[in-house]
Structure formats: C-alpha cells, structure tokens
C-alpha cells in the first residue's frame, strides 16, 4: 500500500451511489450518557444523534471535554460507571443497548474496532506486535486455523514457534498493509522498540485484524508530528477505499476533518450542534 500524499480535496464519498437504499451501518438517536460523581450527575453526552453509512468516513470534531470520547465509548458499552440511554443505538439491525457484556465483546472483536490516542494503553508491552495481531486474527477465526485448545497448545509448544501459522502470516501482511517497512522483522519486535508512528500503525493493523465493518478512531494521530499524522490518515483512507470499512474519526483538529471526512458532526458541551458534508 502506498503512503504517497494524496490531494487534499477528495472527490466526494466514493460509495455514495451504493448506499442510497441501505440503512446506515450505525444509527444513534438521542444518546445520553451520565456519570454519577460525588459532586452530582455529569451529563457528558446530552442527546446526541447521528448515523454512519457503509464505507463512509464520519468525523466528530469538538473541543476537549465536549463528549467525543464518551460518545464513542458509550456505543460499545465501554463507558464505565455511566448510565447510557438512547432511543436507538443500532449496528446494522442489532440493538447494541440490549447486548450483554459477552455479546458486546464479540462485536468489538469482529464488527467494530477502536483505535485510541495512546497506543501504549492498548498494546501489550510484553508481547511481540506480531503475536498481538495474530491473536486477534485467531480470535476472529477466518484464516482456516483450528480454534481448539489443542491446536493452540500445539502451535505454541510443539512447533515451538508461531511463525509458520496462518495467523502469524496474516499479522505480517497486516503490518505491511498499514505501511510498516520490513514487516516480517518488525512483527518480532515489542511495542517499546517502535516509534510512536509505528506503534499507531500497529494499532491500526490490530484493529483491522478482526476484519471490522467500522473503525472508531479516537484522536488516532494527536500525539504524532504532522508528517506522520498525514501518512497515517492516508493509510486509513486507503483502507476505506480498499476494504470499504467505515470510519468514525474523532478529532479536535478541523484540518484533519477537512482532509479526511465525508461528513462531520460538531460537538459542544455534550451536544451535537450540526452534521453536514465536510465541504459545507
Ligand atoms: P472529549 O473526548 O471530547 O475531550 P470526553 O468525552 O472525554 O471529552 O469527556 C466529556 C465530559 O465527560 C467531560 O466533561 C469529562 O470531564 C466527563 N467525563 C469523562 N469521563 C468521566 C468519568 N469517568 N467520570 C466523570 N466524568 C467524566
Ligand atoms: Mg477525547
């Protein structure tokens, strides 16, 4: 996959003609998320509604503290300690509000992936990056590998190395996909051996390993310098073009939105002020 800079003005959402008849991938109506604290209730998200279509890059922009992260966490049952309500919270035809923790974990592994601002919070420091990605691939289970405990033990202890396994090869492929040079070597490295930009790419590879339909990226490039940021955003757009994955991109940076998103919603103080085509 190329990491060439692309023109900043994209020719509109390339998939708009194919989604006209389809319901949105994600539909959120009147989402409320309230934290109960010692100093009273904090309405972090206060009646937010939006929809994300298949293959769309949907931006949520807003100043720090406006409720962007809590909105994302609420979708996936990850807003710990909060009360979440909504008139509708649907992924495809599935009602996310009625799912129990196990069902939500399945959805997080297979349908919706999250990328956070700080890669170290999601990467395991004592596992090679290749193993971490291979684990997600195996969990997703579409590489023709047996999922049984026996097969797992055999891979670990009889073959002595997991390098010949299909899931490892898929991990190397994914590292290549997100633009990591020498992916076969890099797969054997630990997170601390990689630069910030490389770690963020590993997170994206890990997010892709479950073959998701939606990637939620919460300020994925905020900690990086602008050159690396541009490269990584371009990788995300390439992934959308190549795999048709939808992306919910959370940022406080309007320039990022302008260059990447088909539509954008603006959040302020827990509310969504407007949703519009990025050009508008
Ligand atoms: P953003 O991602 O837009 O910067 P957040 O979604 O993280 O903002 O936070 C929205 C609001 O919710 C903020 O006022 C924040 O203080 C509050 N908040 C977030 N997490 C918690 C929590 N665990 N307990 C109490 N309040 C929280
Ligand atoms: Mg945030």
* Domains in the chain: boundaries: 20-111+212-280, 118-211
Ligand with the closest atom to the CA of 266:
1
With a pLDDT cut of 90, the percent of the chain lying above it is 55
Mutate to test the pocket of ligand 1, among 37, 40, 65 (most ligand atoms within 8 A of CB): 65
Per-residue confidence band for 174, with pLDDT thresholds at 50, 70 and 90: very high
Dihedral angle, C-alpha 113, 63, 236, 165, nearest 10 °? -30
pLDDT of 35 strictly over 50:
yes
With a pLDDT cut of 70, the percent of the chain lying above it is 83
Q: Is 4 in the pocket of ligand 1 (CB under 6 A)?
A: no
Q: Record the pTM.
A: 0.82
CATH number of the structural domain 20-111+212-280: 3.40.50.300
pLDDT of 253 strictly over 80:
yes
Q: Is 248 in the pocket of ligand 1 (CB under 6 A)?
A: no
CA distance 77 to 81: 10
Q: Note the pLDDT of residue 213.
A: 94
pLDDT of 22 strictly over 80:
no
Ligand 1 atom with least separation from CA of 81:
23
CA distance 57 to 248: 6
Note the pLDDT tens digit of each residue in 52-111: 999 999 999 999 999 999 999 999 999 999 999 999 999 998 999 999 999 998 898 889
Mean pLDDT computed over every residue of the chain: 85
DSSP alpha helix (H) spans, the chain: 68-75, 101-110, 129-140, 149-153, 166-177, 183-186, 196-209, 226-243, 254-260
Atom 12 of ligand 1, residue of closest alpha carbon: 44
Q: Note the pLDDT of residue 12.
A: 45
Per-residue confidence band for 161, with pLDDT thresholds at 50, 70 and 90: very low
pLDDT of 18 strictly over 80:
no
pLDDT of 149 strictly over 70:
no
Q: Note the pLDDT of residue 84.
A: 97
Range name among 64-78, 110-124, 245-259 with the lowest pLDDT average:
110-124
Q: Is 40 in the pocket of ligand 1 (CB under 6 A)?
A: no
Q: Which residue has the tokens 């010949």?
A: 164
Of the chain, the end-to-end C-alpha distance in Å amounts to: 31
Q: Note the pLDDT of residue 7.
A: 45
Q: Note the pLDDT of residue 2.
A: 45
């Amino acid at each position: 996959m190329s990491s060439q800079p692309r023109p900043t003005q994209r020719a509109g959402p390339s998939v708009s003609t194919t989604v006209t008849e389809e319901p949105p991938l994600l539909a959120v109506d009147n989402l409320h998320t309230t934290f109960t604290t010692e100093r009273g209730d904090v309405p972090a998200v206060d009646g937010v509604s939006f929809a994300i279509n298949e293959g769309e890059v949907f931006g949520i922009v807003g100043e720090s503290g406006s409720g962007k992260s809590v909105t994302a966490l609420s979708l996936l049952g990850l807003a710990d300690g909060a009360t979440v309500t909504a008139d509708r919270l649907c992924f495809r035809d599935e009602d996310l509000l009625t799912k129990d923790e196990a069902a939500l974990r399945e959805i997080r592994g297979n349908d919706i992936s999250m990328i956070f601002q700080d890669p170290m919070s999601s990467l395991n420091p004592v596992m090679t990056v290749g193993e971490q990605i291979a684990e997600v691939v195996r969990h997703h289970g579409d590489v023709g590998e047996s999922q049984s405990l026996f097969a797992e033990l055999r891979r670990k202890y009889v073959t002595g190395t997991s390098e010949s396994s299909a899931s490892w090869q898929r991990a190397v492929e994914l590292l290549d996909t997100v633009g990591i040079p020498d992916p076969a070597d890099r797969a054997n490295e630990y997170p601390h051996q990689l630069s910030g930009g490389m770690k963020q790419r590993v997170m994206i590879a890990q997010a892709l390993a479950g073959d998701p339909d939606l990637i939620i990226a919460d300020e994925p490039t905020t900690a990086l310098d602008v050159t690396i940021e541009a490269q990584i955003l371009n990788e995300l757009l390439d992934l959308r073009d190549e795999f048709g994955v939808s992306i919910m991109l959370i940022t406080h940076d309007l320039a990022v939105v302008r260059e990447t998103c088909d539509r954008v919603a603006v959040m302020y103080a827990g509310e969504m002020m407007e949703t519009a085509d990025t050009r508008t």
